[in-house]
């Protein structure tokens, strides 16, 4: 199994959750999943902003 994850932040900046993408390595290698990181980080930043976080 391979997995990548990114934090979801609350209004105060505390990490309150995470979003992960997991796949068996026969389906997606860790390198494959790492290529998804920019989209994953963008998504968790949008979720965080919806929760009131205003960080970078």
pLDDT in tens, 1-56: 999 999 999 999 999 999 999 999 999 999 999 999 999 999 999 999 999 999 87
Determine the pLDDT at residue 45. Answer: 97
Nearest-angstrom CA–CA distance, 53 and 7: 12
Contact 34, 4 (CB under 8 A): yes
Burial class (CB in 10 A: 0-12, 13-18, 19+), 6: buried
Give this prediction's pTM: 0.88
Q: Which residues contact 39 (CB under 8 A, 6 or more apart)?
A: none
């Amino acid at each position: 199994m391979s997995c990548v994850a990114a934090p979801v932040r609350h209004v105060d900046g505390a990490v309150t959750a995470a979003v992960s993408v997991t796949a068996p390595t026969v389906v997606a290698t860790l390198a494959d999943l790492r290529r998804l990181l920019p989209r994953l980080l963008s998504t968790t930043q949008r979720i965080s902003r919806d929760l009131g976080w205003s960080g970078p």
